[in-house]
Chain A
Amino acid sequence: MTEKSYRDAIRDAMMEEMDRDPNVLILGEDIGVYEGTFRITAGMLKKYGPKRVIDTPIAEAGMAGTAVGMAMLGLRPIVEMMTMNFAIVAADQILNHAAKVRYFSGGQVDVPVVIRGPQGAGVQLSAQHSQTFESFYAHFPGLKVVAPATPADAKGLLKTAIRGRDPVIFLESAALYGMKGEVPDDAGFTVPFGVSRVAREGSDVTIVSYSRMLQMSLIAAEKLSQEEGIECEVIDLRTLRPLDLEPAYASVTKTHRCVVVQEQWKPFGAAAEIAAGITEAVFDELDAPVARVTGEDVPMPYARNLEVLATPHEEHVIAAVKKVMYVNG
């Protein structure tokens, strides 16, 4: 184990896989000479050369589409989107092509492409640069959607993504890049998709979340424990597709109350899917409606005070937990 940042864990995963498999390569905007907007790819061009670390034009459809073609021919490309907001430009390549070719070819091709990049709000980047996309991609069969909350998961899940046979949307929380945590050193370390984990045990309320909101939920849970004596069990989904809600079901069976926390907008979001799943699976265990904590249903504003109002915070999680506990205040 070594303490690493989320950012370094992502870079380590890519470099270990590039060392291991010559078919792994990476392409993106300003990832080589410039060394990446978030410096995820620092040092990679120097080590692997321009054929494996490809600086592309500002052409997301081109990046994603060529990567899909590479993947169909047996390479394992990683596409770095400068931010996932820009990946929308490549929606046709991702949704109509990457997600579909295996199926409409009757299984004749694998599409081992990883499309990764940062997302999320928090530093006044306003409406076009602050969005989160997990429910958008998780809607589509044929894709896998990953949203790690810790450096160790970032590394283990990214390695699984690179080694897989399907297109993976790997959503990094920009706000977590500097977060540090213990990461296994073993080059064989991977984290499987579709296996949620209990990030904190508790008996009173189940909180289901992922990515940055998972970390925020843990802070809220500590606060609730210390100040209110309410013990939350916190479930980290890790991957949105495949989605493993079994630990959430087991937890709700114990706590009878559930709060789902997401950064994105409320309508048709991941929390809606998770809440519906819980209602379908363990309806009789619920003592309160599943509560959702989400971002405000508005484009992200620029002004600092408005941005703070638009994003979910610990206080909102705490309020939601109290609400499902039928505790006032």
Chain B
Amino acid sequence: MADIIMPKMGDAMTEGKVVRWYKKSGDVVKKGEPLLEIETDKVNLDLEAEQDGTLGNMAAEAGQMVEVGGVLATILGAGEKAAPAPPVNEAEGASPPKDAPARRAIDKKDSIKKTTGEYAEAIDMKAPRIDRTAPAVNAAAAQDDGGWRRSSPLARKMAREMGVSLEQVRGSGPGGRIVASDIKSFQPPTPATQKAKAPSLPPIVTLETKQIPLSAMRRTIAKRLAESTGPIPHFYLTADYDVTNLLSLREQLNEIEGIKTSVNDFIVRAAALALRHHPNVNASWGDEAITQHGEIHIGIAVSTPEGLITPVVRNADQKSVAEISSEVRSLADKAKNRKLTPNDYQGSTFTISNLGAWGIEQFTAIINPPNAAILAIGAASAQPVVVAREGANDIRQIVVRDRMKVTMSCDHRVVDGALGADYLRTLRSYLEQPVRLVL
């Protein structure tokens, strides 16, 4: 018995085609007699019988592609019986099925696989690729790299555009590289995780007037809180600020001829600047939506013989302390002389009430609708404070500092506790590092 196989006729040949059979099953054949014609990449040629016998087990039809080494038929010697034909190992994707056009896309792939048969093998082997030329990433170096934050060019571009400081962002890429997704998912850190030392500000967000639709949760919170505590559900946050530097700065500023500022003028500017970082505080409750205001207008509570009125410093975030100072003085004069027009006292987005001049240390103010918050400013006073000695962190000492308590009343429908706290933290940066106010 002798198998007739598809022979390899060229170095790149992986399969051949049966063109036609000259003999049929059961035919008696003689050694050297042509049995069939095959077609390869290079040539068409006849395969001849290698021995006398009877042709059997014909496993490939005319037109069929057969892998190199595949059995095409068998020649049986006298007395030999035909074994059941083994399934022919047809070359992948080779034989043209009836529905060939419909399978075109697959055919294409198959035909590549067919001609570059090593792929399937490679995938099986899952050859590991070691990149010997790749630079080794030093993880330790990545951690402490002298302040330089590894970041992708795109991440840097996005950070620039969004006003995000890379220092605040934790990189998730190799070696701590900050990548685009880190910037996208960046949230300003909460106070708990914030290191007290060298506080940095959350990003300044581009202001725009927009409606934030009420979420179901927000509606529920609003409803519940209002039911419990009246139309505006208030809550209160108090912060104690070190205003030693602020007072000193004010003194320096007032030494300049023609300038006479009050502490409150600084607070107005600080409050306004802080709102730029937290536009969701510079907002108003509505039944259908919360409105974030595109501009920052600070109302200032002024007492008059008739009662309280809140004239407004418009676009306070864009004005210098000196400008605010002269505007507030003029508004206060108008108020006392009853010369305020509606334009002077309408449209505030945030309000400040300062009873420091009355020696009030701390108080709570009632929100001035439709604002979402109001600041109640107490009097600054000298206080003993425990601090670390300069240059020796482990030695503590008591020093005298000027402190000031500020209480923020928030409309809980708009401002949640953490948000109010964030705002007060930002305000701290401005009040305790007052140089930021004159930048």
Partner-B contacts on A (CB < 8 A):
35, 37-39, 122-123, 125, 174-181, 212, 215-216, 218-219, 222, 256, 266-267, 283-288, 297, 304-305, 307-309, 311, 313-316, 319, 326
B42 located at the interface, meaning its Cβ lies under 8 Å from any Cβ of chain A in the complex = yes
Q: Would you call B179 an interface residue if the criterion is a C-beta within 8 Å of the partner chain's C-beta atoms? A: yes
Q: In the complex the two chains form, what is the Cα distance from A319 to B127 in whole Å?
A: 11
The reply to whether A37 and B42 contact each other, CB–CB distance below 8 Å, is yes
B14 to chain A, nearest CB (A): 8
Residues on A with beta carbons closer than 8 Å to the beta carbon of B153: 283-287
CA distance A284 to B119 in the complex (A): 36
Q: Which chain B residues lie closer than 8 Å to A267 at the CB level?
A: 133
Contacting residues, chain B, for A304 (C-beta < 8 A)? 121
Residues from chain A with a CB closer than 8 A to the CB of B133 are 266-267, 297
Q: Which among B108, B122, B181 is the interface contact of A313 at CB below 8 angstroms? A: B122
Q: How far apart sit A30 and B360, CA to CA, in the bound complex (Å)?
A: 106
Are B157 and A308 neighbours in the complex by a CB distance under 8 Å?
Answer: no
One of B109-117, B259-267, B308-316, B407-415 contacting the partner: B109-117
Give Cα distance in the complex from A215 to B107, angstroms: 13
Q: B211 interface residue, CB < 8 Å from A? A: no
Nearest CB in chain B: distance from A120 CB, A: 9
User: Which B116-134 residues have a C-beta within 8 angstroms of A?
Assistant: 116-119, 121-123, 125-127, 129, 132-133
Residue among A39, A215, A288, A313 making CB contact with B127, cutoff 8 Å: A313
Residues B12 and A212 in contact, CB atoms below 8 Å apart: no
Q: A219-B112, A286-B152 are in contact. Are A180 and B125 (CB under 8 A)?
A: no
Task: Using known A-B contacts A39-B42, A283-B153, A285-B153, determine if residue A212 contacts B173 with beta carbons closer than 8 Å.
Answer: no
Considering the chains assembled together, what is the distance between the CA atoms of A308 and B122 in angstroms? 6
Contact B179 A326 (CB under 8 A): yes
CB distance from B197 to the nearest CB of A (A): 31
A-side contacts of B157, CB under 8 Å: 284-285
A residues in contact with B173, CB < 8 Å = 288, 326
The residue in chain A whose Cβ has the minimal distance to the Cβ of B115 is: A178
Q: Is B180 an interface residue (CB 8 A)?
A: yes
Tell yes or no: B172 within 8 A of A by CB: yes
Q: Are the CB atoms of A180 and B108 closer together than 8 Å? A: yes
Asked if residues B115 and A288 are in contact (CB atoms below 8 Å), the reply is no
Instruction: State whether the Cβ of B394 lies closer than 8 Å to any Cβ in chain A.
Output: no
Q: State in angstroms the CA–CA spacing of A219 and B106 once bound together.
A: 10
Q: Per-residue 0/1 for B35-69: is the Cβ within 8 Å of any A Cβ (1 yes, 0 no)?
A: 00000011100000000000000000000000000
- Give residues 325-347 of B contacting A (CB, 8 Å): none
20 A–B contacts from the bound complex (CB under 8 Å): A37-B42, A39-B41, A178-B41, A178-B111, A180-B107, A216-B112, A219-B119, A283-B153, A285-B153, A286-B152, A286-B153, A288-B173, A288-B179, A307-B118, A308-B122, A311-B122, A314-B122, A326-B173, A326-B174, A326-B181
User: B154 at the A/B interface (Cβ < 8 Å)?
Assistant: yes
Number of chain B residues close to chain A: CB under 8 A: 39
- Give chain B residues whose Cβ lies under 8 Å from the Cβ of A297: 132-133
Instruction: Check if B155 is an interface residue, CB within 8 A of chain A.
Output: yes
Does B401 touch A at the CB level, under 8 Å? no
What residue of chain A has the Cβ atom nearest to residue B107's Cβ? A180
Neighbouring B residues of A176 by C-beta, 8 Å: 112, 115-116
* Complex Cα spacing A222 to B119, Å: 15
Judge whether A122 and B125 touch: CB under 8 Å: no
Residue in A123, A177, A288, A314 whose CB lies within 8 Å of B123: A314
The CA of A307 and the CA of B115, in the complex, are separated in Å by 16
CB-contact partner of A256 in B14, B108, B180, under 8 A: B180
Decide: B111 and A305 in contact? CB cutoff 8 A. Answer: no
Which residues on the A side are within 8 Å of B109 (C-beta)? 218-219, 222
Chain A: which residue is nearest B116 at the CB level?
A175
Within the assembled complex, what's the spacing in Å between the Cα atoms of A125 and B11?
8
User: Which residue in A178, A212, A315 is a CB contact (below 8 Å) of B122?
Assistant: A315
Q: Does B156 contact A (CB under 8 A)?
A: yes
Question: How far, in whole Å, are A284 and B47 apart by their CA atoms in the complex?
Answer: 64
With both beta carbons as reference points, the residue of chain B lying nearest to A118 in the complex is identified as B12
Q: How far is the CB of A252 from chain B (nearest CB, A)?
A: 10
| CA gap between A258 and B9 in the complex, in Å | 42
Note all chain A residues with C-beta closer than 8 A to B111: 178-180
Contacts of A37 in B (CB 8 A): 10, 42
Q: What separation, in Å, do the CA atoms of A34 and B42 have in the docked complex?
A: 9
CB–CB A316/B123 < 8 A: no
A288 to B127, CA, bound (A): 24
Q: Is the CB of A216 within 8 A of B156?
A: no
In the bound complex, how far is the Cα of B105 from the Cα of A185, in angstroms? 20
* A151, B119: Cα distance in complex, Å: 20
**Nearest B residue (CB) for A123:** B12
Please measure, in the bound complex, the distance between the C-alpha atom of A39 and the C-alpha atom of B180, giving whole angstroms.
Answer: 52
Q: Which among B112, B122, B123, B155 is the interface contact of A287 at CB below 8 angstroms?
A: B155
CA–CA, A313 to B115, complex, Å? 14
Chain B residue numbers with a CB within 8 Å of A38 are: 12, 41-42
Task: Give CA–CA (A67, B30) in the complex, Å.
Answer: 51
A209 to chain B, nearest CB (A): 13
Further 11 A-B residue pairs, CB within 8 A, beyond A38-B12, A179-B108: A37-B42, A38-B41, A39-B42, A175-B116, A216-B116, A288-B152, A308-B118, A311-B122, A314-B119, A316-B129, A319-B129
How far is the CB of B96 from the nearest CB of chain A, in Å? 10
Partner of A178, one of B10, B42, B114, B155: B114
Which residues from A are CB-within-8-Å of B155? Answer: 287
Bound: A308/B119 CA distance, A: 8
How far does the Cβ of A322 sit from chain B's closest Cβ, in whole Å? 12
Interface centre among B117, B129, B172, B180 (most CB of A within 10 A): B129
Chain A residues contacting B43 (CB-CB under 8 Å) are: 39
Q: Across the interface, which residues of B come within 8 angstroms of A319, CB to CB?
A: 129
Rounded to whole Å, the gap between the CB of A175 and the closest CB of chain B is 4
The smallest C-beta distance from B161 to any residue of chain A, in angstroms, reads 11
Tell me the nearest residue of chain B to A253, going by C-beta.
B154
What's the minimum C-beta distance from A130 to chain B, rounded to whole angstroms? 11
The docked-state distance in angstroms from the alpha carbon of A316 to that of B128 is 8
Which B residue sits closest to A177, measured CB to CB?
B115
| A285-B12 CB under 8 A given contacts A297-B133, A311-B122 | no
Bound: A197/B247 CA distance, A: 67
Closest 3 pairs between A and B when the two form their complex, measured CB to CB = A313-B122, A287-B154, A175-B116
B106 to chain A, nearest CB (A): 10
* A320: min CB distance to chain B, Å: 9
CA distance A35 to B12 in the complex (A): 16
CB distance from B140 to the nearest CB of A (A): 20
Residues in B with CB closer than 8 Å to A125 are: 11-12
A180-B107, A287-B152 are known contacts. Are A308 and B112 too (CB-CB below 8 A)? no
Contact of B123 with A315 in the complex, beta carbons under 8 Å: yes
The residues of B that contact A287 with a CB separation of less than 8 Å are: 152-155, 179-180
Within 8 A of A (CB), among B140-192: 152-157, 172-174, 179-181
When C-beta atoms are compared, the residue in chain B nearest to A150 turns out to be B108
Distance from A302 Cβ to chain B, minimum over Cβ atoms (Å): 12
